[in-house]
Structure 1
Amino acid sequence: MKVLIAGTGFAGEGHAEAFRAAGCDVVGIVGRTPKVVQDVAAKMAIPYAGTDWQQALQDCQPDIVSIATPGGAHFEQIRQSIAAGCHVFCDKPMTTSGDTATELYRMAQAKAVRTAYAASFRYTPSVLHARKLVAEGVIGEPVEVECMSHFNLERDIPFGWSHRADDGGGRLNNNFTHTLSIVSSVVGDEILSISGEVRDDLGRAPIVEGVHNFASRRNFIPKDLSDPDLRWGESDVEWSYTVLARIRSQLAKQPVSVLFKHGGLVPRFHDDHIVFYGRDGAIFLKGHYGSGPLFLWDKTAGWQEQTLPAEIAAAVPDVAGDTEQCWHYLAREFVKDIRGEAVEPYPTFREGALYQNLIDVIRRNDHATAVTPLD
């Protein structure tokens, strides 16, 4: 199958490698800047390089498109791809609003094309292991989940798409999407209720020319932040959030309570982690996306690190980097599904649209009840 890539940064190159590993032919890549897209295409031996997405769809006639641009560009790229009958693999966020994401989901349904939504950290080895243990009843009925992360991001990272709501920025779009996907894959995806509080504690960031690859943006932080000629851009997205959810699980009689807590700009003291609590035990995953070791707690042994089962280890793609590993896993499942092979359920535009609608609800910050002093 032929694949056309949208985006020339870290995600674009990562998606291209993932689809090649899945047995596809990456026939083209599209970016905004002619020289950049030509350089990336040459480096990766991709035969077609262009800056016009609609023209590339016509020229390349792909079976699959892979959307690896910032979220603000997704709607039109995906709309055109669905209209052309392409299957669509899209990185998160799906779009910048619940309404536009839902529209694309309905379009894909009507056109009967396959979709994949790359909130893909559900495929780290420890998350796959946790899913297996919970399904086997090792911790009993799940009752509670806790997702904690504190990134301590540099406040002076150059102003860009991650600072702007219209471009798909914000920590809900780019962190919560992954943790919600992880929790849903382990305990269940029927979300009964959600509420949250968000905060923009950044304010502004320096405007710097020449930043292309998201992974190397730290290298462009100005050395002199007091320079009077330095220009600044204003953030309009959240950098911290607290979300509470209730999820129905087929493994439990009562809804599972879930806490999602993320501070993008504050330092951590203990390890970032995800914990699944059950009536008979608990599972601790080290790392903000559960990519570290897994520990199991029971009443007799306490906390004990667990060995990854051989069948899970064998299924994990042999590539460097957690992000890349998860892209490879999802792309492989997506391609198998398109070919008619049996696969486990994977995140699609159904989840992408649902998550964007939930993010809209959380960002409204309208769930709090004002407290009236008694005196």
Structure 2
Amino acid sequence: MSETLRVAVIGAGRWAQRAHIPGWQRDPRVDVVALADTDPDVLAQAGRDFQVARLVTDYRELLDDPDIDVIDVATANHAHFDISAAALDAGKHVLCEKPVHHDYRQTRALSERAQAKGLKTKLGFTFRYAPAVQYAKSLIDAGFVGEPYIFNGYEQNSQWIDPGTPMRQVDPDADPSVITTSSIEGYGAPIIDMMHWFSGGELRSVVGTMRNFVPERMIRATGQMQRLNIDDGDMWIGEFDNGVLASIQSSYVTVGNFPGIEARIYGSEGAIIVRLVEEFGVCQTIRTATKDEVEFVEREIPQEFFPTGGHSREDWDFLFYSNLCADFATEILSGGPANQGDFGQGALVQETINAFERSFRTRAWVDLPLNAPAADGAVAA
């Protein structure tokens, strides 16, 4: 591999244009050499805006190209697994938006396939790479909180509090009488990732519930209101093997701004609150307290946790994804074993979501790891 990482982005829509493509292009070690999208108009516009010359409507044309090192999967969720599997089989490192698959076992299988081939993977856990979160983790590792006791995690914003805001219909054949996962999987995954990362132990048992607060919503494809029995709010409790108690709250009908993440960890020596909410021009803050000085005070985030020239008044998606892309580039180009937020971590987060769903269905505590058999491709619930 050369000293320049050559990346092809599959899926050139809104999120790719706000985060993936500019995040990669911010790094001087990276060259975005190709874009793929099934919509030729979207593809052409992205190519013009980001000055990428190679544009294809079939991503398979890119897999056998020896000049491409990384496939970045930024498509709709249903295509994540197949494209990631094909890219790994073609010998490419893979960045994929979450989830790779709704069944954690399928994601774990891809993680094992990548490791067997000596390839690196990474999930789109955007908020893990926020400078404030990276700084918080460094404080935890340095012993600032002491023995961790409690983790509280929130992912909440008001994106769909208005039923007239168009939403993509996840499954047109879904039984409207059965609530299906939505917020906890699409929005809860990043804070679940942080819960595991900050808590420092193995999750052993969970219990919780889901709710559908806004029954009828506007469907983007039809422009009509329709009954969607989806999880738009949920709350969970988890027990870790090191004694940590954790809670998770996820919703996109809670009043507040993007991205709506807040992580709190309390321990024997101190506490940390990280808030990733774009308010008054600032996209992140970190506050700390100790057992001797219990009033929380805001800390300045050291520049080492930002990309070159970065600051907290940038758009959060561009800032955080720049760090994600730079971290993946460093992991690949260094050739070392480091690979944070990989498909293995993605499988753990998905297993937690599958356990949450099972708890809701059974109205009972659910133990991890999950081992119950299920049909191929089915959610273990």
When normalised by structure 2's length, the TM-score is 0.79
The match for 1:119 among 125, 131, 134 is: 125
2:300 alignment partner in structure 1 = 308
Decide whether aligned partners of structure 1 residues 367 and 278 sit closer, same or farther in structure 2, where only a CA change above 3 A counts.
farther
1:220-231 matches, cutoff 5 A: 231=224
The match for 1:202 among 207, 214, 223 is: 214
Contact 1:159 1:233 (C-alpha < 8 Å) held by counterparts: no
1:37 shift after superposition:
0.8
Q: Tell me the alpha carbon deviations over residues 332-362 of structure 1, each in whole angstroms, 9 at most, x when there is no partner.
A: 1211121125586510000112222222221
The match for 2:20 among 15, 18, 31 is: 15
The match for 2:321 among 323, 327, 350 is: 327
Q: Tell me the alpha carbon deviations over residues 119-147 of structure 1, each in whole angstroms, 9 at most, x when there is no partner.
A: 13122222223222222222321100112
SS for the counterpart of 1:302 is coil
SS for the counterpart of 1:11 is helix
SS for the counterpart of 1:139 is coil
1:97 shift after superposition:
2.5
What letter matches 2:75 in structure 1?
T
SS for the counterpart of 2:33 is strand
Structure 2 CA distance for aligned equivalents of residues 91 and 263 of structure 1: 19
Contact 2:149 2:267 (C-alpha < 8 Å) held by counterparts: yes
Q: Which runs of 5+ in 2 are unaligned?
A: 175-179, 366-381
2:265 alignment partner in structure 1 = 276
Decide whether aligned partners of structure 1 residues 306 and 344 sit closer, same or farther in structure 2, where only a CA change above 3 A counts.
farther
Structure 2 CA distance for aligned equivalents of residues 165 and 132 of structure 1: 46
Contact 2:286 2:301 (C-alpha < 8 Å) held by counterparts: no
Note the aligned Cα RMSD (angstroms): 3.1
Decide whether aligned partners of structure 1 residues 47 and 284 sit closer, same or farther in structure 2, where only a CA change above 3 A counts.
same
Contact 2:207 2:237 (C-alpha < 8 Å) held by counterparts: yes
1:63 alignment partner in structure 2 = 69
What letter matches 1:274 in structure 2?
A
2:165 alignment partner in structure 1 = 157
1:247 alignment partner in structure 2 = 240
Decide whether aligned partners of structure 1 residues 33 and 169 sit closer, same or farther in structure 2, where only a CA change above 3 A counts.
farther
When normalised by structure 1's length, the TM-score is 0.81
Decide whether aligned partners of structure 1 residues 198 and 17 sit closer, same or farther in structure 2, where only a CA change above 3 A counts.
same
What letter matches 2:12 in structure 1?
T
Decide whether aligned partners of structure 1 residues 164 and 81 sit closer, same or farther in structure 2, where only a CA change above 3 A counts.
farther
Structure 2 CA distance for aligned equivalents of residues 24 and 62 of structure 1: 11
What letter matches 1:348 in structure 2?
D
1:149 shift after superposition:
4.2
The match for 1:90 among 87, 93, 96 is: 96
Q: Tell me the alpha carbon deviations over residues 256-305 of structure 1, each in whole angstroms, 9 at most, x when there is no partner.
A: 11100123213369x97322111233222234699532222234433232
1:238 alignment partner in structure 2 = 231
Contact 1:88 1:114 (C-alpha < 8 Å) held by counterparts: yes
Contact 1:285 1:291 (C-alpha < 8 Å) held by counterparts: no
- Of all paired residues, the percent bearing the same amino acid is 19
Structure 2 CA distance for aligned equivalents of residues 169 and 71 of structure 1: 14
Structure 2 CA distance for aligned equivalents of residues 88 and 334 of structure 1: 10
2:375 alignment partner in structure 1 = none
Contact 1:27 1:60 (C-alpha < 8 Å) held by counterparts: no
Structure 2 CA distance for aligned equivalents of residues 86 and 161 of structure 1: 32
The match for 1:355 among 333, 336, 349 is: 349
